[in-house]
Structure 1
């Protein structure tokens, strides 16, 4: 029986994929935006036909979340994202100002290495593949080991459709043999121009060490402040729908509720009417003992499980109507696991006297374990909303909308993204909802609109006297040596002499 080293096989595969991507990149360089757009549309249409199959497959493989919500995410990315991208240009001339004689040219970064999560594997892979092709980049995926089969199936569908539409071979690919060593070889390859890590925290340090530009999209709990002027029923309904969506594993989902004391009682009753269960002290201990049994981090086997199952496994019972479990807390502490990110339908409920204290509480929550990702405020007071926008260390602030759907662009006009930049959490290079614009650089083109003598003469009007002229002359003669281009040096010297003569005549 022949023994095959899986790690070595994965590393070798990563190198081959990168070589193929390098060749594909050369071909892609000749593709115009319209040609790329046709490929994107064909890929999205193919993925949409398999959206349900992939959602079910994801749940079966990872045991995270529920297939119905994953199906909704898959359909959203396949249908809405191409529509959003349709009129946008990222390759070639992307804008032109004929009056100002300026132009911007979009240039693909090259080869992208993308790490996809186990929590949202299909929607993330489809989204990143579409924005990479839209922006003329080659992309190589490293699936999460827990979702490798599902991610591979999704990418096979996309690759087949892309090839049919004319995408060069190697421009879209993935690691079939998934190991940490193979993933590290992929992100550390010299040809990689950008690394995108979406919700794979165990690879963050390796991505940093690769020395590449690095985008990190974290999955963390978000604070939501219910201010006294808020529409309480609407706010509570939004929070409950968001926190329970896919059983709490979507990036940006609310975890911490900060309620104004004036409306805290009303809000609590509204939460209970909408399926929230406020736990007793003993039940809180039972639940957190189940979720975080040893070192304070969440047991991965309890990620994305429904509230009723969590309660049952923790040893207490809840009504069948319960969707979210709630723990009432007063303080934030590093030793309190409820202050840490939990990827399941659990909320933590705080009460503050006014918006100023609520503001401080939200900042404290965001600073705790660097949760600088997303913040939600429910309020009708524009001044309070603006103060929150000015003071909160977050990448995005959402107003009167569910965090999950607002951050994805479903209920807001933010870009429809599955990777939400987390630079405010101290990781990565951007806080954007990542779009094709993050996968290109912009070449700025400016036409000459004035002669050098015109500019020099204009500057000289601010100078006075022969003394300034003499200093300028001395500086020119002693500090500016002749370069290799004699014609340019001669032209500059003639211009300076003309300027000095003009200044002398003015005297």
Structure 2
């Protein structure tokens, strides 16, 4: 009975949040650029001031990742994000083509629903709230149940900072009584105009099935190919830095390392030198059994954990200071557990004959749960980059840490914690999502060609030449074409 009452209360809370946020958004839609920028700046300041405490809350509540890295994420999702989106035009006339006399006017989408993952529970909430308000939208957040407290706290900070700077009350909301019923209610309620979903495949699929526009992201299963011309020391350093960043909880983190036979020993030695531990086949089996539950779903106990924690749980001994665990795999799919996504400090390791075989392997790995997302390549050969650019992904990350590169921290990509996978990955966008994805665009178009006087002569020429005949000869068609071209030249259209 108590559970039933709780579910009813959670659904009612979701409805109330949506109704209040919808009314608030109608007011926010009237704000000008200066007002919106003032609000966003105050939200950014609040996120910056609370970056450490929110990171601590997230680690304490979920057990995932590291405080220092989650602190960086919180700052990246606010301060760095703001610098990127500040010049974006999201209000009023955002573009004018004076030659073709077309004017574009931005309008907000309305009320957004933001689904937040447990792996990045505060940074993703901050990011979604900021890009929502920048584009004059309201947003109601649905947190992951295992990270509800820290996500609620981050959302409250964003709301209070926005209201303090002049935003309408209730413009940002968050479910405090988390339940699937509440999440489903938000997805389907009339007040919500668009869903931004970041989370597991099932949740993203549900968002796309809610009967309204949605921006969702699929999983990443990023292969990292160290090509023969690569700077091996730098490549290994980047991979380890990426995989240990917040203990691998970013979906753009590398999942497999691929090397050619001729450089295998050198790469393995460099990994060992920098803190990598190559597990034996039996150790790999023990770790894999602990990593996954229900087939290929990751165990929450192993997500975002250090190599030491994972090794201890599997009952294997590793050298002090080990940063990542690597297990050799001979194939992809069933029977090769490390070929699946692992949001933690474990990597699959593959050896191939040449780049052709590396290409084939990358294709298989991507289709094993990461299609559309990202691929990483370390090379000094620009032609090789273009060969791998043919893979079915929308982020080809070159000579950088994949985690930081995919979200735009170490690359020129848009700073984002929602990385679209395009239609290949079942997503409505292939972009890193920004405020520009959260606006509707009106177009004012002036007439620039006068058809009132010239359409009739062309039509008359057609009917005069063809008459009412049911059959038309090639000579008649050619004569018609010549006549029409002559008329168009007189008009100056050709």
Q: Quote how far apart the aligned CAs of 1:145 are.
A: 0.7
| 1:416 equivalent in alignment to 2:420 | no
- For the residues of structure 1 that align with 2:2 and 2:265, how far apart are their CA atoms? 67
1:73 maps to which residue? Answer: 73
Q: Quote how far apart the aligned CAs of 1:76 are.
A: 1.7
- For the residues of structure 2 that align with 1:445 and 1:129, how far apart are their CA atoms? 30
Alignment of 1:177-192 (within 5 A): 177-192=177-192
1:99 maps to which residue? Answer: 99
2:440 maps to which residue? Answer: 441
2:228 maps to which residue? Answer: 228
Change (3 A) 1:295 1:461: closer
- For the residues of structure 1 that align with 2:403 and 2:68, how far apart are their CA atoms? 16
1:63 maps to which residue? Answer: 63
Are the aligned partners of 1:393 and 1:424 in contact in 2 as well (CA < 8 Å)? no
User: Which residue among 458, 472, 490 is the counterpart of 1:460?
Assistant: 458
1:480 maps to which residue? Answer: none
- For the residues of structure 2 that align with 1:174 and 1:135, how far apart are their CA atoms? 19
2:131 maps to which residue? Answer: 131
CA displacement 1:64-90 (0-9 Å, x = unmatched): 111111011111222111111111112
CA displacement 1:366-410 (0-9 Å, x = unmatched): 011354311011111111111211x21112111111111111111
2:257 maps to which residue? Answer: 257
Q: Quote how far apart the aligned CAs of 1:425 are.
A: 5.0
The size of the alignment, in residue pairs, is: 473
Change (3 A) 1:235 1:419: same
2:217 maps to which residue? Answer: 217
Alignment of 1:264-413 (within 5 A): 264-292=264-292, 295-389=295-389, 391-413=390-412
- For the residues of structure 2 that align with 1:72 and 1:471, how far apart are their CA atoms? 76
| 1:156 equivalent in alignment to 2:156 | yes
Q: Quote how far apart the aligned CAs of 1:196 are.
A: 1.2
Change (3 A) 1:139 1:294: closer
2:167 maps to which residue? Answer: 167
Q: Quote how far apart the aligned CAs of 1:294 are.
A: 5.3
Runs (5+) with no aligned partner, structure 1? 473-498
Runs (5+) with no aligned partner, structure 2? 470-483, 489-494
Alignment of 1:138-149 (within 5 A): 138-149=138-149
Query: Mean alpha-carbon deviation: is it higher for 33-42 or for 408-417?
Result: 33-42
- For the residues of structure 1 that align with 2:49 and 2:301, how far apart are their CA atoms? 30
CA displacement 1:183-231 (0-9 Å, x = unmatched): 1001111222111111243423432331122222244331111111111
Change (3 A) 1:442 1:54: same
Are the aligned partners of 2:46 and 2:158 in contact in 1 as well (CA < 8 Å)? yes
Change (3 A) 1:467 1:455: closer
Q: Quote how far apart the aligned CAs of 1:260 are.
A: 2.3
Are the aligned partners of 1:107 and 1:442 in contact in 2 as well (CA < 8 Å)? yes
Give the match's secondary structure for 2:416. coil
Give the match's secondary structure for 2:297. coil
Q: Quote how far apart the aligned CAs of 1:160 are.
A: 0.8
Are the aligned partners of 1:373 and 1:424 in contact in 2 as well (CA < 8 Å)? no
Q: Quote how far apart the aligned CAs of 1:2 are.
A: 8.8
Are the aligned partners of 2:221 and 2:369 in contact in 1 as well (CA < 8 Å)? no
Change (3 A) 1:102 1:293: closer
Alignment of 1:110-129 (within 5 A): 110-129=110-129
Give the match's secondary structure for 1:103. strand
> CA RMSD, aligned part only?
2.4
